[in-house]
Structure 1
Amino acid sequence: MVTIYDIAAQANVSAMTVSRVINNTGKISEKTRLKVKKVMDELGYVPNQMARSLVLQQTRILFLLITDIMNPFYTTLARGAEDAARKHGYRLLFGNSDESLDKEGEYINTILTTRVDGALLAPAGDPSLPHLEQLRKHNVPFVLLDREVPGIACDIVLGDSKDGARSLVEHLVKQGHRRIALVNGSSSISSARLRLQGFQEAMKLNDLTLREEDIHETTFGPHLDVEAMGLWIDTIVMDSMPTAIMAGNNVLAVVLIRLLRARGLRIPEDISVVCFDDFGLNSEVDPFITVAAQQAYQFGYLGMQMLIERIQERNSPPPWKRIMLPAELIVRRSVKTQG
C-alpha cells in the first residue's frame, strides 16, 4: 500500500507537504502541489478517508433515513437527495426504518458511530423525539422530511397535506359523491393528522355528514394490518356502501384496491378511490388512480441542499428554515360521476 511517505520520498518533499496537498490545507505553491499530485497519480495513491476525516473534522458523507423503501414517494425522494449530495461533493449512506422506532433507533446509532457530517430524515412519528434529541446532543446537523415532530426545532421540508386532502374531497364532491370514507395512517404521524384535518374540513365545508365509523386508522408502512382493513371494508363498505374512499397514501391505496377487488367490487364502477401521493414510474405505464401528487424529487433535493447549507454554516447557524411544497391534483379514471 502506497503511503504519504512514499510520495514524499519520490516528490522530494516532506510528509507534511503531502498531507497538506491531500487535505487541501496550508500554504503550498502551485508548482509543488502539481508535482505531488503527479507522483500520487503515478503511484496510484488512494487517500485514507478515515485519517483525512480526523484531520478535517468532516467525512463528506451524509445519511438519508426514510420510512418505507417500497413506497415510490420515498424512492423518488432518495434520488433527489442523492443528486443534490453528489452535486456538492458528498457521498450518501442510506437506511430504511420500516416505520419502526426500534429500527430507527439502530440507524441513529449508526449515524453517530460513523461520524457522518449530517442526516436527512423522515421520522417514524412523534415518538421519534428522543432520537432527534440524541442527534442534537451530539451536534449532528439534520433536516426533517415529510413529517414534523413536536418538541424539536429544525429545518424541514413538508408537503401541504391538509390542502392536498381537501382537493381530493372537493373533486369527489364535484363528481356528486356525498358519502366519502377515509383510510389513513397513524395519528402519531403529523402528515396523517393533517390529511385527516383536510378531509374533515372539506366534508364540513360541503355540508357532508362525517360518520366516525367511516374513518379507519392503520399505519402508512409495510406493517399495516391488512386483516383489520378487510374487516372494516366488510362492515362499512359492504354493508352501508360509501360511494368513494380516500386513502391517506399510495401504499394504503394499493392494499385497499386489492381488498375491494377481492370482494368483487370494481373501481370506479362500484366504488371510487382516490389517494394522497402518486405511484412513481408505475403511474406512467397505466395511469389509473386520481391522486394528490407530491413533489417527491424536490423533497429530497431541497432537503439535501438545506442540510449541506446547515453543515457549511454550523459556526454561525442561520434561522431554521421551513419549506412547504404544494400537492397537485391529478385526475384519472378511478372516480365515477354520481347521478
Structure 2
Amino acid sequence: MITIYDIAEKAGVSAMTVSRVINNTGRISEATRKRVKKVMEELHYIPNSMARSLVLQKTKILSLLITDIRNPFFTTLARGAEDAALRAGYRLLFANSDEDYAKEKGYVDMMLSTRVDGVLFAPTGDHSLENLLQLQKHNIPFVLLDREIPGIEADLVLGDSKEGARKLVEHLIELGHRRIAMINGTPDVSTARLRYSGYREAHLLSGLGVEDSLVIHRNFRDFQDESALDALIHHEQPPTAIFAANNMLAIGAIQALRKRGLQVPRDLSVVCFDDFGHTDVLNPFLTVASQPAYQFGALGMQLLIERIEGEAAQEHRKMILPSELLIRSSTQALV
C-alpha cells in the first residue's frame, strides 16, 4: 500500500509537506504542490478519508434522511440534493426511515458514529424532536425538509401545503362537488395539519361545513385500511370526491376503489398532493398539486452547506416553495 512516506521520498519533500498538500493546509509553494500531486497521480495514491477527517475535523460526507424512498417526490428530491452536494465537493449518504421513528433513530445513531458533516432531514413527525436534539447535542448541522418540528429552530425548506390543498379542494367545489372526503396523514405530521387546514379553509370560504366523518387519518406511506374507505362509500351521504393528502395515499385509495368496481372519475373524482414524476409523463391521469421536488433537495443542500461552511447568517432561514395545480382527467363535474 502506498503511503505518504513513499510520496515524500519520490517527491523529495518531507512527509509533513505531503500531508499539507493532501489536506490543503499550511504554506507551500505552488511548484512543490504540483510536484507532490504529480507523484501522487503516478503512484495512484488515494488519501485515507478517515485520517483526513481527523486532521480537518471534516469528513466531506453529508447525509440525506427521507421518509419514503418509493415516493416519487422524495426520489426526485434526493436527485436534487445529490447533484448539489457533488457540485460542492461533498459525498452523500442516503437513508430511508419508512415513516418509522425507530428506524429514523437508528440512522441518526449511524450518522453520529460516521461523523457526517451535516444532515438534510425529512422527519417522520413531531416525535422526531428527540432525534434532532441528538444532532444538536453533537453540533451536527441539519436542515429540515418538507416538515416542521415544534421546539426546533433550524433552516427549513417547505412546500406551501395549506395553499396547495386549498386550491385542490376549490377545484372540486368549482366542479359542483359538495361532499369531499379527505384521506390524510396522521396529525403529528406538520404537512398533514397544514393540508387539513387548507381543506377546511376551502370549505369555509365556499360556505360549506366540514364533516369529520369524511376525514380519514392514516400513515402517509400507504393506504391499506380499506375498511375506512368502505365506511366512506357506504356513508349515509357518501362523498362524490376524494382529496388524498399525498400521492401514495391516492394510489392506495384508487386501487381499493377499483377492487370494488368503482371507477375514477366516473364514480368518484380524486385529487392529490404531489405528482408522480417521470412514471406519469406518458399518461398523466391524476389532478395534483405538484411541488418542485428537485428544488427542495437542491435548495436544502445549499442551505446545509452554507451552514456547515460558516456562510449562513446566524438567523435561521425558512424557504416556502409554491405548488402548481395541474388539472387532469381524474376529476369531472357533477351533472
SS at match of 2:202: helix
Amino acid at match of 1:67: T
2:206 paired residue number: 206
SS at match of 1:157: strand
2:65 is equivalent to residue 69 of structure 1: no
Q: CA–CA distance in 2 between the matches of 1:166 and 1:272?
A: 16
Q: CA–CA distance in 2 between the matches of 1:101 and 1:15?
A: 47
1:303 paired residue number: 300
Written as runs of structure 1 = structure 2, the 5 A alignment for 1:2-21 is: 2-21=2-21
Any unmatched runs of 5+ in structure 2? none
Q: Deviations over 1:16-54 (max 9, x none)?
A: 001111111111111111111111111111101010111
Contact 1:179 1:209 in 2 (8 A): no
Amino acid at match of 1:260: L
Amino acid at match of 1:238: H
1:268 paired residue number: 265
2:35 paired residue number: 35
Q: CA–CA distance in 1 between the matches of 2:320 and 2:95?
A: 24
2:328 paired residue number: 332
How many Å apart are 1:317 and its aligned residue?
A: 5.1
Q: CA–CA distance in 1 between the matches of 2:208 and 2:313?
A: 48
- Percent same amino acid at aligned positions? 59
2:100 is equivalent to residue 104 of structure 1: no
Q: CA–CA distance in 1 between the matches of 2:313 and 2:139?
A: 12
Contact 1:7 1:18 in 2 (8 A): yes
Q: CA–CA distance in 2 between the matches of 1:166 and 1:12?
A: 70
2:281 paired residue number: 284
Q: CA–CA distance in 2 between the matches of 1:63 and 1:299?
A: 15
Q: Number of aligned residue pairs: give it.
A: 334
1:247 paired residue number: 244
2:119 paired residue number: 119
Which stretch of the first structure deviates more once superposed, 69-78 or 169-178?
Answer: 169-178
TM-score by length of 1: 0.97
Contact 1:122 1:145 in 2 (8 A): yes
2:170 paired residue number: 170
How many Å apart are 1:287 and its aligned residue?
A: 0.4
Q: CA–CA distance in 2 between the matches of 1:144 and 1:304?
A: 10
Amino acid at match of 2:251: V
Q: CA–CA distance in 2 between the matches of 1:250 and 1:260?
A: 15
Q: CA–CA distance in 1 between the matches of 2:21 and 2:129?
A: 42
Q: CA–CA distance in 1 between the matches of 2:15 and 2:255?
A: 65
1:256 paired residue number: 253
1:318 paired residue number: 314
Which stretch of the first structure deviates more once superposed, 230-239 or 18-27?
Answer: 230-239
Amino acid at match of 2:99: E
Amino acid at match of 1:18: V
Q: CA–CA distance in 1 between the matches of 2:229 and 2:308?
A: 48
Amino acid at match of 1:25: T
